[in-house]
Amino acid sequence: MDSDGTRDARGTHANPVPRPAAPVEAGAVPPMPAMPPGAPPRPDGSAFLAWLRAPRPQAAPGVWRFGHLPRPEREPEETPARQLLSGALIAFLVGWLMWSLLQNGYLGSWWWVPFDLLVPDAWRGSDSQIGNLLLYDGYQLLVILAIAVVVGRLGRWGEVWRRFVVARMRPAQAAPEAPAPEHDPAEFPHLRAAGAHDAADRLAAEARAGLMRDVDHARISRAWQGVRSGRHSLATFTGAVLKDGAAACLHPSGERDLPARHARHDLLAGQVRLGTAADDPRNPFQYRGAGLGLDPDLLGTSLLAVGPAGSGKTGAVVRPLAESLCLHALAGRASAVVVGAAGAGLGPAESYDVVVRIGHPESVYDLDLYGGTTDPDEAAAILAEALVGDLADPHPGGDSRRSTTVLAQLLGPFRAVHDRFPSVPELRQLLDGTPGPLAALRKALTDAGQQPLLRELDARERQMAHPGDVGTVLADRIALLDRPAFASFFDTSGQTRPFSLKALDHPVRVRIDLPERGHADASRILARLVLAQFTAAVTAREDRSLFACLLLDDASGVVTPEAVRGIQRLRSAGAGAVLTLRTLDDVPRPLRGPLLGATGCRMALAGLTPWDGQDFAEVWGKEWTETRDVTDRQIIAETPAGKAVHMLRRVITGQAPTARAVTVRQVERERWSASELAHGVPPGHAVLSLTTVRGEHAPPLLVDLRG
């Protein structure tokens, strides 16, 4: 096998080693070889067609649909194998004993009465040995069959045959036949139904030739949705397909796939596989053993994953989801923003269109501090949330309106004078109340006749004289970004290439590396800034058919009252967020319940603390379950014979004779208790509950993230 999975040319049936030909005459030119020496056989589209035609039945939320075999919702009652086999053997022995007793006359001859009543005397007195043999032995065979039917039903021989014989004799499933052309997805019947026969023929030919990938199919399907919705014309779509084939409607980057994939993806169903639902009694029967896959329909309700360091949050959750969203972006279906520490392993830079390395001198892109807005009030609200959002009242009704007002009093006048927002050093000077910049700003406003903005500046100067002025706190926080490592970042003069989250109207792939090493406080400010800009940008989009998702690898210090309200608005805006935490202690106590309530998908990884498990247990609630209470009561014999039997039983078994009483009750218990979440989740596993944007939900599932 070569590295790409194809066979080489060394003696395989698909590409046999050519036999030596007849000697070539001197001076004659040898024939040109069909392919270079050692080259693998030319690819075909068999693998792609098999993937495209694979069954994807409708299933419960979170079930990996590719090749899924549906199971019943309730577990069928199945007799244990040992009990089933022993019962079948005992039934056979009973039947054998019954026939032996009948055959030897120990039970009398009553079983010949039907024979005497039904068989004529002439038949019984026949001289034919063969006739008598058939007559008498045939009747005995009927009796044997009757006994076998009775004991077979008692011993459940049919179930033994199905479970232990038929299951092992079942032949391997043959390859599925190609469906009819009108139902074959490889023939693009939806294009033919709309009259685009030429485009369908071109795409079908490239699919059979192995020139089409799953990303190409998803991208062209997305473009066809644009034709159906009226955003694009049929002629434009057909012309692009006839010109470029499977490479039509390319992503602006020109890429048709990622450099590498570390997770299993099914772009036809839009899913990425995270693991396998464990075969555990606490999981519903229809989920046990099934793959677990997430798609935008689930991420649209947002996901919160909590687990200690090393539990797999980044490698088993964030990295596969980031990879899936990047593939969706290449298909024109989504835009992704991945935020994490530098070197966190969120995928290579080649998988992204924009990589912002804050604090890295070789970073090509900068981050727009004001989110690309030109409205001073909106910019002030976003910046206030980033700087002091964690200092606001942690209760759900808390906000940072005072800080927003202070920033708006400075940003509005500055933009009116300079036609831009202040840079970090300039904003720090204005918040500190440095006389020179404030005087220059006042003079420029006076010369321009901006009386309303002068009143804003006067109010700001009056507030500076009060000891409780929030501007001092804002100045201290903005000073964390006014460091030499960030000197070339957050530029507002237009000399750099700032990235703004306003670009989420397009299928863009963005990775933002935070400088956590040595700048932990600045990283938390920047993380809050990105989250605030993301929620403001996606809720203001006009086209919400493009799914937008923010993946925040470490949300410590990011959850604020305004952030919780923003996450709640994402569901209706065609967007979602994925947040990871080491512990819920990183979230203020009044905000833990609202955060768990704002996210529709919740994941508790192995190693959770009991107090974190208590919060998950409360949000997952309780369910009615059936419990069995077994009571063993000692039997006291009253007769001498009974006492002798009990004594013999005690000598043989070593236990006193008891009578067992079983009580079945319906009780309400927690789906997962805090103790089970803290101590009952194996390493590499997680408990995950899911909710779709349509309101369908899956109960907490024990998932093996390594499967």
| Pairing state between β 354-357 and 498-499 | unpaired
Are 351 and 326 a contacting pair, CB within 8 Å? yes
Residue 212 and residue 190: Cα distance in Å, rounded? 18
Token pair 């009747």: residue: 139
Residue 123 and residue 146: Cα distance in Å, rounded? 23
Q: Is 108 helix (H, G, I), strand (E, B) or coil?
A: coil
DSSP string, 454-509: HHHHHHHHHHHTSTT-THHHHHHHHTTT-SGGGTTSS--SSSS-EE-GGGGGS--E
Give the pLDDT of residue 43. 63
**In DSSP terms, which residues pair with 601 in a beta bridge?**
303
DSSP string, 373-433: ---HHHHHHHHHHHHHGGGS--STT---HHHHHHHHHHHHHHHHHHSS---HHHHHHHHHT
Range 696-700 contact pairs with CB under 8 angstroms and sequence separation of 24 or more? 696/60, 696/61, 697/61, 697/600, 698/60, 698/61, 698/62, 698/287, 699/284, 699/620, 699/623, 699/671, 700/620, 700/671, 700/672
Measured at the CA of 614, the angle between CA 612 and CA 615, to 5 degrees, comes to 70
Residue 483 and residue 463: Cα distance in Å, rounded? 27
CA-wise closest residue to 35 among 18, 51, 49, 52: 18
Give the pLDDT of residue 157. 86
The percent of residues above 70 in pLDDT, for the chain, comes to 90
Q: How many CB atoms lie within 10 A of CB 315?
A: 15
Token pair 């434009």: residue: 236
Give the pLDDT of residue 6. 37
Residue 295 and residue 273: Cα distance in Å, rounded? 9
C-alpha torsion 336→342→343→347, nearest 10: 10
Are 685 and 703 a contacting pair, CB within 8 Å? yes
226: buried, middle or exposed (CB in 10 Å: 19+, 13-18, 0-12)? middle
What are 163-215's pLDDT values in tens digits?
888 877 765 555 556 677 778 889 999 999 988 999 999 999 999 998 999 99
What are 70-110's pLDDT values in tens digits?
887 776 667 778 888 888 898 899 889 988 988 888 888 88
Half-sphere exposure of 514 (CA within 13 A, CB side): 24
Q: Is the dihedral of CA 690, 693, 694, 695 positive or negative?
A: positive
Cα separations in angstroms, 103 against 89, 144, 151: 21, 10, 17
Residue 431 and residue 433: Cα distance in Å, rounded? 5
What parts of the chain have a pLDDT lower than 50?
1-28, 35-41
Give the pLDDT of residue 618. 94
272: buried, middle or exposed (CB in 10 Å: 19+, 13-18, 0-12)? buried
Give the pLDDT of residue 19. 37
| Pairing state between β 366-367 and 498-499 | parallel
Are 561 and 285 a contacting pair, CB within 8 Å? no
Helix, strand, coil distribution of the chain in percent, nearest 5 = 45, 15, 40
CA-wise closest residue to 582 among 347, 238, 305, 381: 305
